[in-house]
Amino acid sequence: MSKQEPKSEIEESNRMWASASFVGVLIIIGLPLWWKTTEVYRVALPYDKISSFSELPSIITSELTVLANDEQSASEIVGAIQKAFEGEDILKLKIKKTIISDDLHRTLESVADEQDAIEEVGAAFDLTQHNQFYVVQRRPLFQDVWLGGERVMFFRDTKAAPTLIQALKHWVYQTKVLSGARSSVADSARRTRFPPGAAYHVVLSVVHPKPDKLSVDFDAEEAVEDYIGSFVDELSVLHNFTLKSQWLYLLDFDFQAKEIKDKSEWGRHFAVRQERLHLLLTSLEERAATHVSELPTLNLALYAAPCHAAPLIIHDQRGQPVQSPVQAFMSPKWGGVVLASPGQAECQAPQPRWRPNVRVVMGTFISQLRKLLGIADTPSIPGGFLEPLRSVTPRRWEVDSLLRLRTVEQLTSAERTLQSLAQLLGEISNIVINDEVGASINSAVDSIQEASEVMSQGHLVEAYRVSLKAHTAAETAFMEPSLLALLYFPDDQKYAIYIPLFLPIMFPVILSLKNLFLWFRGKTVQKEKTE
């Protein structure tokens, strides 16, 4: 081509370059810049780890030692137990078998009382370790199987094997409750017990509606410290407890009780319908100041019935009185209430004065607390004897079982929380994840992996601690208010502001792309031609 191009061609190229620079500024620089500046801040999260939680091993290893008198019965028992626990997906038993030494054998045969026998076993083996359990043969036993408060269960002989397996499954390891903690649908135990947490407040409220008509001698502080204090001390490996008490006077609550004549000392009782009981909780909540605590609160309330409405008896749905020495009821995840009524003699005294039976009242509260904290009920097993609780302290194997339960529960809950958070992040694009939330998600993920490892190695207390950490971190991340910082600035509003600017500008620029494209192609064709 000659040096002097036609003027129109120079103009044409100028125009095209102008058009290209518009495209360059607006689309190549402008659009990414706008995208970057209006982007929602999100820390990079370990999505792959979160989605692969289901592949993590969720097995708790627990040690079981079988002590039998001879080799044959030992291996028979071990074989039966192994077979029975084969199908368990959460619990894995590491069974050791040992033959009882002659000394111990002789003492076990001669000692009459089971408690003494346990002491003898305790002298030979360490019974204080968590996650350890001993199954010991003891011939002079009235039942097939005997279980007390320690980590020892006695069985008579190999014929007791089916009962022994039942007892291990339903009492000691509570495999059903354990798998209930993992399932997506809450079973009755999970609906009752408090959600996992590092610490709880326990508040005993003494409700005294008529302080002018009756004086109640009840030292709430001592009762709480002595009974509940010694109960929760045993659970200190699981949670921290703060004990509190308060008096609530003149609480006006109408039970709408119906007077019914009977043969008691009063010659009457007041029937409270079961459906009305939850209304008492509503009026208690108004006064009990449960909301000021910084931690979840387990509420215990002792309702001292006034003389004119005593004794109060709860009637069930069919209108039958509840046969129980203590009138009490429980509200899942809230607490328990004991309705105590003064006797006739106390009310008819010139100066009515009543001392509630502290042992009975506090015993009821303890049994309610056991359920609220997650200690499962023990069903009766034919041929098996479970020694009733003699003191307020929980049985040692119950604490182990609770540790296992809480570990699984916390781990499952942390995993599900993170998974649903990941899902939410996928669904809702304007959730902010700042550095703090990102750190707590990462720490939760690490703790989950660590916990499942420690758990499968059988270090139960350590696994509990790590899983609690995971649970707390996951909950903090999920509940963090900063997630919602931009939730109320949805995309349609963003577009409402930008479209008046973008539409009129982008329209000509995008239309010019066609010409530009054609021109560039034409130019290259021309160049090729010239070459």
Partner 1 sequence: MTCLLLKFMVIITTVSNVLGDDFKEEIFIKPLPPTHLYSYFQFVTLVNSEKSFAHSHLSPRSLGEIISRFQVDELHLTLTEGQWRHKQWGYPVIDAAPGAELYAWFSQEVTDIDDQWRKLSATLSGLFCASLNFIDNFNTVTPQMALWPTGPVKGNTNVTSLLRYASLPREIVCTENLTPWKKLLPCESSRGFSALLNSRMIHNTNYHSIGVHVRNVCASKDCTETLLEIKQTVALVYDYKIINSYDWSFRKLFGQGLPGACPLSSASTIYVDITSNDTQPFKLTPPPDRIVLSQRGGSDTKLAVYDIKADGQMVNIGVKQDTKEKLQLTVPPPLHFNRYVLGYGKEFGGIVTDLVNNYWTAIDVVLLENAPWWLPIQLSSLRINGEAESKLVKSMFYSPGRSRQKPYHLELLIKLPPRSTTTITIDFEFVFLKWQEYPPDANHGFYIGSALISANLPTAKNYTSIPINGITYDSVINASKPWYPAVFRTNGAMVSLPTPDFSMPYNVICLACTVVALAFGPLHNICTKELVLKPVGTPVSLTQKLLNLFKRKKD
| Min separation Cβ 30 and partner 1, Å | 12
Q: How many whole angstroms separate alpha carbon 507 and alpha carbon 295?
A: 58
C-beta closer to partner 1: residue 173 or 218 = 218
Give Cα 147 to chain centroid, integer Å: 28
CA atoms within 13 A on the CB side of 314: 21
| Min separation Cβ 406 and partner 1, Å | 25
| Min separation Cβ 94 and partner 1, Å | 34
| Min separation Cβ 65 and partner 1, Å | 28
C-beta closer to partner 1: residue 192 or 297 = 297
C-beta closer to partner 1: residue 229 or 438 = 229
C-beta closer to partner 1: residue 261 or 390 = 390
359 in Cβ contact with 120 (< 8 Å): no
| Min separation Cβ 417 and partner 1, Å | 26
C-beta closer to partner 1: residue 289 or 439 = 289
| Min separation Cβ 252 and partner 1, Å | 6
C-beta closer to partner 1: residue 80 or 295 = 295
Q: Which contiguous run of DSSP H or E holds residue 314?
A: strand 312-315
DSSP strand pairing (335-340 vs 297-304):
parallel
C-beta closer to partner 1: residue 126 or 217 = 217
344 in Cβ contact with 328 (< 8 Å): no
Token pair recorded at residue 32: 């990414």
Please report where in the chains the tokens 């050791």 appear, as a residue.
96
Sign of the torsion angle spanned by Cα atoms 264, 268, 274, 276: negative
Token pair recorded at residue 412: 């499952």
Please write down the HEC assignment for all residues of 385-430.
EECCCCCCCCCHHHHHHHHHHHHHHHHHHHHHHHHHHHHHHHHCCC
Token pair recorded at residue 387: 């020694």
509 in Cβ contact with 26 (< 8 Å): yes
| Min separation Cβ 376 and partner 1, Å | 23
C-beta closer to partner 1: residue 252 or 275 = 252
CA atoms within 13 A on the CB side of 204: 28
The DSSP secondary structure of 432-460, one letter per residue, reads -B-HHHHHHHHHHHHHHHHHHHHHHHT-H
- Cβ burial, residue 232 (10 Å; 0-12/13-18/19+): buried
C-beta closer to partner 1: residue 395 or 471 = 395
Q: Which contiguous run of DSSP H or E holds residue 178?
A: helix 175-182
C-beta closer to partner 1: residue 277 or 389 = 389
| Min separation Cβ 232 and partner 1, Å | 14
| Min separation Cβ 13 and partner 1, Å | 12
C-beta closer to partner 1: residue 55 or 294 = 294
C-beta closer to partner 1: residue 16 or 177 = 16
| Min separation Cβ 202 and partner 1, Å | 10
| Min separation Cβ 21 and partner 1, Å | 9
Least Cα distance to 135 among 211, 239, 65 occurs for 65
C-alpha distances (whole Å) from 410 to each of 242, 401, 414, 439, 447 are: 22, 14, 6, 19, 11
C-beta closer to partner 1: residue 103 or 219 = 219
- Interface with partner 1 (CB under 8 A): 11-12, 15-16, 18-19, 22, 203, 211-212, 215-224, 226, 242-247, 249-250, 252, 286-287, 289, 291-294, 358-359, 390-391, 497, 500-501, 503-505, 508-509, 512, 515
| Min separation Cβ 131 and partner 1, Å | 27
66 in Cβ contact with 135 (< 8 Å): yes
Token pair recorded at residue 331: 């509200």
Token pair recorded at residue 163: 């009962």
If one counts every other C-beta atom within 10 angstroms of the C-beta of residue 249, the result is 12
The DSSP secondary structure of 24-50, one letter per residue, reads IIIIIIIHHHHHHHTPPPB----HHHH
C-beta closer to partner 1: residue 174 or 245 = 245
| Min separation Cβ 399 and partner 1, Å | 18
- Residue 21 CB contacts under 8 Å (≥ 6 apart), including other chains: none
| Min separation Cβ 274 and partner 1, Å | 27
